């Protein structure tokens, strides 16, 4: 798929991996909707892209709420006429020992990380079916492949995302809609960095990546671009994890 002129929606694009993906997509000439629950950050991100000469708008969304996601897709079509690329990237994490994890906190993680992929895919696919196809990329995680103490809810949601990706890929392959995922290791974003992790936790995380450092958001964005561009890849999950799961 040639990305120039294509319309892409990126959820969780106010920061981190989503922002790097929005930047990479606009660098390829795509029009981008910066979709995030963080209005201030999302508007700033869209402005930064516009200032760099890109076509970008901010649309507020709560990825965990179907009505909000349906509105995001409707507003995207209003702004740009169609949707070619959907990057379901918004995510949160809650770390807790499972016997202390409240059902509410567990549901919150499932709602954003897993329900968000369902809603984003469902409503984007409805538009893609009208226009003859498109590409969906979901952000999974190494925690959907390997276990980690205290990451129970994240693992549940990200494991689901990987298999939801395969199910969607099979279901829509003959409709020219490809569905893939990226599975990042620990990436230097607001979620995992020297500020949010204790020095010990940071060093422990680095030690789990054979490459000897955490990843950069642009390195995940690079894989997302590949999955958008390559027309023969569907149902795949690319590990971008410095060898963590090798
Ligand atoms: P981040 O915290 O920088 O970005 C997450 C973005 O999602 C934020 O802009 C936040 O406002 C937005 N968001 C949160 N809840 C939302 C909601 N309900 N609706 C819409 N937007 C919402 O973190 P990062 O690292 O860029 O995370 C992006 C994705 O990468 C997430 O799905 C995360 O689970 C995944 N990931 C991150 C890893 C890391 O180490 N940073 C490792 C593996 C996966």
* pLDDT reported for residue 176: 98
* pLDDT reported for residue 215: 98
Model-wide pTM > 0.90: yes
Residues with CB under 6 A from ligand 1: 11-12, 14-18, 36-38, 41, 61-64, 89-92, 112, 139, 141, 184, 186-187, 189-192
**Among 9, 14, 17, residue to substitute to test ligand 1 (most atoms within 8 Å of Cβ):** 17
- Extents of the domains making up the chain: 7-240
* pLDDT reported for residue 80: 98
Give how far the C-alpha of residue 210 lies from the chain's centroid of Cα atoms, to the nearest Å: 24
Ranges of residues in the chain with a pLDDT under 50 are: none
Q: How far apart are CA 19 and CA 13, in angstroms?
A: 4
CATH class for the domain made up of 7-240:
alpha beta
Nearest CA residue ID for atom 34, ligand 1: 91
DSSP string, 59-71: EE--TT-HHHHHH
* pLDDT reported for residue 162: 98
* pLDDT reported for residue 128: 98
* pLDDT reported for residue 188: 97
* pLDDT reported for residue 159: 98
**In 3-state terms, the chain is what percent helix, strand and coil (to 5)?**
50, 15, 35
Task: Please tell me the distance between residue 118's alpha carbon and the centre of ligand 1 in angstroms.
Answer: 16
- Taking CB atoms within 8 Å and a gap of at least 24, the contacts of 159-163 are 160/114, 160/117, 161/113, 161/114, 161/117, 162/237
* Bridge partners (DSSP) listed for residue 55: none
Assign 3-class secondary structure to 55-117. CEEEEECCCCCHHHHHHHHHHHHHHHCCCCEEEECCCCCCCCCHHHCCHHHHHHHHHHHHHHH
- In tens, the pLDDT along 194-230 reads 998 899 999 999 999 999 999 999 999 999 999 999 9
Which tokens hold the place of 205? 């995380």
* pLDDT reported for residue 214: 97
Atom of ligand 1 nearest to the CA of 186: 40
């Amino acid at each position: 798929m040639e990305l120039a002129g294509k319309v892409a929606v990126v959820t969780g694009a106010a920061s981190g991996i989503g922002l790097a993906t929005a930047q990479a997509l606009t660098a390829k000439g795509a029009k981008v909707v910066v979709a995030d629950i963080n209005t201030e950050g999302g508007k700033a991100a869209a402005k930064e892209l516009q200032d760099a000469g890109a076509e970008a708008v901010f649309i507020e969304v709560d990825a965990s709420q179907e009505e909000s996601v349906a509105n995001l897709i409707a507003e995207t079509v209003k702004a740009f006429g169609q949707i070619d690329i959907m990057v379901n990237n918004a995510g949160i994490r809650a770390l807790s020992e499972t016997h202390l994890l409240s059902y509410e906190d567990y549901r919150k993680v499932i709602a954003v990380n897993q329900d968000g992929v369902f809603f984003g895919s469902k409503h984007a696919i409805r538009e893609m079916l009208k226009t003859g196809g498109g590409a969906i990329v979901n952000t999974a995680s190494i925690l959907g492949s390997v276990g980690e103490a205290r990451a129970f809810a994240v693992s549940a949601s990200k494991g689901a995302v990987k298999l939801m990706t395969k199910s969607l890929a099979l279901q829509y392959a003959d409709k020219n809609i490809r569905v893939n995922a990226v599975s990042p290791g620990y990436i230097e974003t607001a979620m995992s960095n020297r500020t949010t992790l204790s020095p010990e936790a940071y060093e422990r995380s680095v030690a789990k990546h054979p490459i000897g450092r955490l990843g950069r958001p642009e390195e995940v964005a690079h894989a997302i671009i590949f999955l958008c561009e390559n027309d023969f890849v569907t149902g795949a999950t690319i590990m971008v994890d410095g060898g963590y799961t090798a």
